[in-house]
Chain A
Amino acid sequence: MDKRLFSYINWGLLTFMLLLYLLGVGNLYSASGTRVGDGMAFSGFYQRQLIWGMCGLVCMIAAMSFDYRQLRNLAWPFFLVSILLLLLVPVAGKTIYGARRWIPLGFMSIQPSEIAKFAVLVLSARLLARDENPLGWKDFSTVLCVALVPCTLIILQPDLGTTLMLLLILGGMILFRGLRGYVLKTCLLTAPTVAAFMWFAGMHDYQRQRILTFLNPGHDPRGTGYHILQSRIAIGSGRLWGKGFTEGTQSQLRFLPERHSDFAVAVFGEEWGFVGCVTLVTLFCLFLLSIFSTAVQAKDRFGSLLVVGIFFYFFWQIFINIGMVIGLMPVVGIPLPFISYGGSATLLNFTLLGIVLNVSMRRFMFKG
């Protein structure tokens, strides 16, 4: 590999990302603790997260080691494979909690919707990168139609969270790319109609229930409102300085549900307080801005759009997850990058950032 590439790496991004990852592991250490008598018992979440992180670093290096422009050529084959996998889910998938999302491979299960997310991201970047002009009806509808195929398959699983995530990422990329005025206006007008249609026809009862509970969490404090109330109590009781590392009563005494995964940031908020939370949010913003800087500095539209897609991938997760934990968003199963425990999510995060770093490294490679 060219030595020069190495020096162009977006070191800021790498630094923030590793900082966040380590914060996440530390927080998981505390979240896995449970007070037993006078002592503590720890379950192995933080250790496993460390191992996943190591694997993630390998994936990241792998994602940096080739020219990202190869992805552009692979966009369509990649997309078709992911559609095939999604079609395989209803046939060979296994059902967990009433949803059929996984394909068992014996030693592990893969979630085709995650692969589809990545494939749509790459393909959209390619499609949107066709020219410089703001999108007209033709380009807009092409991208939308292509994305709707996996979206439909995913929503049938059913997996509303991933579908919304996909649409939000796509929407972000389209908005970044820019729309012609009349397209934008039409979209703004039709959006409420689509939302209403989703509410009445596209949602399951438990999903509607979550949104209703979000609007009024006190309504059902033992049922669906429990998560929201307990996480608000956890965060709020941290006050300015927090209760201290591994001292959070809400998490150590197991009042807080899902404290390893979706609600991990509530543990952080309880133990580190407002100061810690603002630090964490600042870190996340700096992290996003680092991705943004790569998007701006990229030498080609495809690379730029790819990075913008990845930017939105992280942006929405951060916004929705933290928003959910502090009661600004309904409870949807979206983890917080680096802070929530999750093996495949960690691998995907590191891989995507590898691609961002890949773009940042190769922005001077456009010599003939």
Chain B
Amino acid sequence: MLKNNNTPPSSAIAENQPRGSVFRAWLKIHVENERYQPPRNGVILLQVLVGMLFFVLVTRLWYLQIHRGDEFARQAQGNRLRQERIFAPRGRILDNNDKVLADNRTAWGLSLVREDCRDIPATLTQISVWSSIPLSQIWEKYQQDRFKVKSFEPLLLLTDINFDLVARIESEIYAWPGLKIVVRTKRNYPEKDLFAHVLGYVAEVNEKEMAADETLAMGDLVGKQGLELELEKQLRGKKGLYDVEVDAHAHTLGKALREEPRSGNEMSLSINLALQRASWEAFGGEAGCAVVMEPDSGKLRAFVTSPAYDNNLFSAGISKRDWDALRTSNRFPLQNRVIQSVYPPGSVWKLLMTALFLERGISPRETVFCPGEVTLGNRVFRCWKHGGHGSVNMESAITNSCDVYFYLMAERLGIDKIEEFAKASGFGRPTGISLPHERSGLVPSREWKWRRFGKTWVRGETYNTSIGQGFTLVTPVQIAVYVSALLNGGDILKPQLLEDDGRVVTGRLPAKAETRNFIVGAMRKTASAGTAHVVYRKDADMGGKTGTAQVVKLKMGAGDRRLRTSEMEYAQRDHAWIATWGSKKGRTYVVVVMVEHGGGGSSVAGPIAKKIYDHIFGPAQDTPARGAQ
């Protein structure tokens, strides 16, 4: 096989001058004895290919590096530099005497960088030893969050660790690569449950909020409930900016300050911490709510709803266990009873009905005989007083809360007029308070009933409506606003929570001055000698009206007596209302108290209102009452 067709050439061929290339002339080597001639076209092909290679590549390089070079240089710069925001402290929230209700404090946390951690199970066990939190709980947290952050980003395992523990961990942390103590700012609510429903809480921003606001970034705290949500714009500061040099994995290489952060505004509430606490304590754990409102300015001085929750739990990131406990509690601590719970107003509604009667020309002197019940068709409508009140006029009907008087007068006017008047007086719509999720309550009407049940309105329902039972639903704050309007000259005000907020009129009470004065006078009489006597005190001008709202209609035979509250199931007990006002030395307040399933208005809600007045006006003294209104 060694012999092949390239047998040694015998003839010599002189100079094989390469074609036209300076380069090959330089490479040229003396040639002799050649017979093989490379194919002519092939030689040209190779040369053309090399030329083409050069031309195409250089043209493209010119296009990329010279023609579009500046553009790509900018893009490379954009790759390299990121902007990192600097946290701006959230504005504090104070009460009307500058007592702190919400502030920020430094919290230490322990985080783990997965990439740097050598033995994750052992590290988590060590964390459990340090913190005395069960290992299973730490594992749970780890599993829950591990995919939310990249492997080189810190994963927060412990949120709020105390200083002693920080010191201890700090001294041992060198043995645990991947662990890092992080400093975070945490929203702090020193008064916890007391202001939970007013302040709400902050929590980490979610994706939807981030999409709506480009200044927000992962890990920011934003208001989620209450005033923290409503006042988000004022409370949130403006972040500062760092220029950060990063690599493709977002590892930080260096940073420079570009813009200083600016902290959020400090907000002062109209609510008084001491009064709020006194009102809270007056409840003694009962479920219910209380509002203290200044009738002239519309400012709220106390806003209590019980039970509540510790809103600090949310700002630290609430655990599933705590959340479930709050959510499923049969006492509904997450419910803001002042504005989100609707109840039948009971006899408190008679304050509204009286105004309607007067405005519709019913004389206060006209009397009605109350035999204890009236019959309509085959139904019996009872007065709360089994034996009846006898002959009652308008004023005594209020002070003694005679139901029969209201049945008969309402019957005379009809549901349409009641509906119109109640709506014009601010019921059936939100008061406009600056808190989220306020409910409207319900003023029933023929049209509503048809829409809701597909049935026509019947007269018995007008009876029920007249004494605040049946379909009628109100929020406690609506009652406070109505009573305030009676006192302030007829302005329906927006209830204000901030000390600096002005007076905002949302409507006019459709009642003349005489009408209002009559009702105020009747309330005064109810306090001094009627069902609201519990709030009566000699050193102040007081007025009030109680209410007992039935939760379930108890079937009663003709001979049955009313059950006592203590004999009924908790959830079937009546709601207790009291709507009051008090005036001393030119300072007037409206106090509305509602106790869920409390039973009678005067016996349960009344003492709470009295304790609130004791705080506002000081303990009752035996000085004679002065007339105010």
B contact residues around A301 at 8 Å (CB): 5-6, 36
Asked if B167 is at the interface of the complex by the 8 Å CB criterion, the answer is no
**A368: contacting residue among B8, B29, B79, CB under 8 A:** B8
A272 to chain B minimum Cβ distance, whole angstroms, is 10
B553 to chain A minimum Cβ distance, whole angstroms, is 64
**A35: contacting residue among B50, B58, B68, B253, CB under 8 A:** B253
Are B61 and A281 in contact (CB-based, < 8 A)?
A: yes
B contact residues around A290 at 8 Å (CB): 27
A231 to B, closest residue via Cβ: B64
Are A175 and B66 in contact (CB-based, < 8 A)?
A: no
A contact residues around B24 at 8 Å (CB): 289, 293, 296
**B69: contacting residue among A238, A288, A328, CB under 8 A:** A238
Are B79 and A277 in contact (CB-based, < 8 A)?
A: no
B174 to chain A minimum Cβ distance, whole angstroms, is 20
Could you say which of A42-50, A98-106, A247-255 contacts chain B?
A247-255
Are B6 and A10 in contact (CB-based, < 8 A)?
A: no
Interface string of B39-52 (1 = CB under 8 A from A): 10111011101100
Asked if B218 is at the interface of the complex by the 8 Å CB criterion, the answer is no
Asked if B57 is at the interface of the complex by the 8 Å CB criterion, the answer is yes
B contact residues around A322 at 8 Å (CB): 57
Q: How far is the CA of A178 from the CA of B65 in the complex (A)?
A: 38
Q: How far is the CA of A315 from the CA of B50 in the complex (A)?
A: 8
Are A281 and B54 in contact (CB-based, < 8 A)?
A: yes
From residue 1 to 16 of chain B, which have CB atoms closer than 8 A to chain A? 1-2, 4-10, 16
Interface string of A320-331 (1 = CB under 8 A from B): 001100111000
Are B6 and A269 in contact (CB-based, < 8 A)?
A: no
Asked if B362 is at the interface of the complex by the 8 Å CB criterion, the answer is no
Q: How far is the CA of A115 from the CA of B45 in the complex (A)?
A: 27
Are A289 and B50 in contact (CB-based, < 8 A)?
A: yes
**A274: contacting residue among B16, B66, B73, CB under 8 A:** B66
Q: How far is the CA of A49 from the CA of B76 in the complex (A)?
A: 28
A287 to B, closest residue via Cβ: B50
A contact residues around B26 at 8 Å (CB): 12
Asked if B248 is at the interface of the complex by the 8 Å CB criterion, the answer is yes
Asked if B206 is at the interface of the complex by the 8 Å CB criterion, the answer is no
Are B10 and A368 in contact (CB-based, < 8 A)?
A: yes
Are A176 and B39 in contact (CB-based, < 8 A)?
A: yes
Interface hub of A37, A274, A281, A297 (most chain B Cβ within 10 A): A297
Are A300 and B6 in contact (CB-based, < 8 A)?
A: yes
Q: A249-B80, A292-B46 are in contact. Are A304 and B56 (CB under 8 A)?
A: no
Are B57 and A281 in contact (CB-based, < 8 A)?
A: yes
Are A366 and B9 in contact (CB-based, < 8 A)?
A: yes
Are A302 and B4 in contact (CB-based, < 8 A)?
A: yes
Q: A237-B72, A297-B29 are in contact. Are A315 and B53 (CB under 8 A)?
A: yes
A328 to B, closest residue via Cβ: B60
Q: How far is the CA of A188 from the CA of B57 in the complex (A)?
A: 26
Q: A254-B247, A254-B248 are in contact. Are A269 and B65 (CB under 8 A)?
A: yes
Asked if B318 is at the interface of the complex by the 8 Å CB criterion, the answer is no
Are B42 and A240 in contact (CB-based, < 8 A)?
A: no
From residue 191 to 234 of chain A, which have CB atoms closer than 8 A to chain B? 230, 232-234
Q: A296-B18, A301-B6, A304-B38 are in contact. Are A237 and B27 (CB under 8 A)?
A: no
Are A364 and B32 in contact (CB-based, < 8 A)?
A: yes
Are A296 and B29 in contact (CB-based, < 8 A)?
A: no
Q: A10-B27, A326-B57 are in contact. Are A236 and B64 (CB under 8 A)?
A: yes
From residue 245 to 283 of chain B, which have CB atoms closer than 8 A to chain A? 245-249, 253-254
Q: How far is the CA of A366 from the CA of B12 in the complex (A)?
A: 11
Are A278 and B36 in contact (CB-based, < 8 A)?
A: no
Interface hub of B33, B54, B56, B57 (most chain A Cβ within 10 A): B57
Are A274 and B248 in contact (CB-based, < 8 A)?
A: no
Instruction: Report how many residues on chain A are interfacial, defined by Cβ distance under 8 Å.
Output: 76
Are A288 and B53 in contact (CB-based, < 8 A)?
A: yes
Q: A249-B76, A290-B27, A366-B33 are in contact. Are A278 and B50 (CB under 8 A)?
A: no
**A235: contacting residue among B39, B65, B246, CB under 8 A:** B65
A contact residues around B34 at 8 Å (CB): 297, 299, 363
Interface hub of B75, B246, B254 (most chain A Cβ within 10 A): B75
Are A250 and B76 in contact (CB-based, < 8 A)?
A: yes
Interface string of B73-101 (1 = CB under 8 A from A): 10111011000000000000000000000
Are B43 and A296 in contact (CB-based, < 8 A)?
A: yes
Are A236 and B53 in contact (CB-based, < 8 A)?
A: no
Are A253 and B50 in contact (CB-based, < 8 A)?
A: no
Q: How far is the CA of A315 from the CA of B51 in the complex (A)?
A: 12
Interface hub of A10, A237, A311 (most chain B Cβ within 10 A): A237
A contact residues around B450 at 8 Å (CB): none
Q: A175-B42, A177-B42 are in contact. Are A366 and B8 (CB under 8 A)?
A: yes
A34 to B, closest residue via Cβ: B247
Asked if B453 is at the interface of the complex by the 8 Å CB criterion, the answer is no
Are B54 and A285 in contact (CB-based, < 8 A)?
A: yes
A188 to chain B minimum Cβ distance, whole angstroms, is 15
Asked if B31 is at the interface of the complex by the 8 Å CB criterion, the answer is yes
Asked if B70 is at the interface of the complex by the 8 Å CB criterion, the answer is yes
B24 to A, closest residue via Cβ: A293
Q: A235-B72, A236-B69, A249-B80 are in contact. Are A254 and B54 (CB under 8 A)?
A: no
Are B70 and A298 in contact (CB-based, < 8 A)?
A: no
Sample (27) of A-B pairs whose CB atoms are under 8 Å apart: A8-B29, A178-B42, A233-B75, A233-B79, A235-B72, A237-B75, A237-B76, A239-B70, A239-B73, A253-B245, A255-B76, A277-B58, A285-B54, A286-B23, A288-B50, A289-B21, A289-B50, A292-B50, A297-B16, A298-B36, A298-B38, A300-B36, A301-B36, A304-B38, A322-B57, A323-B56, A328-B60
**Chain B residues with a Cβ under 8 A of chain A:** 1-2, 4-10, 16, 18, 21, 23-24, 26-27, 29, 31-36, 38-39, 41-43, 45-47, 49-50, 53-54, 56-58, 60-62, 64-66, 68-73, 75-77, 79-80, 245-249, 253-254
Leading 8 A-B pairs by shortest Cβ distance: A236-B72, A300-B6, A176-B42, A239-B69, A237-B76, A253-B247, A274-B65, A368-B8
Give me 5 other A-B pairs in contact (C-beta within 8 A), A178-B42, A253-B79 excluded. A232-B72, A233-B76, A255-B248, A256-B248, A269-B61
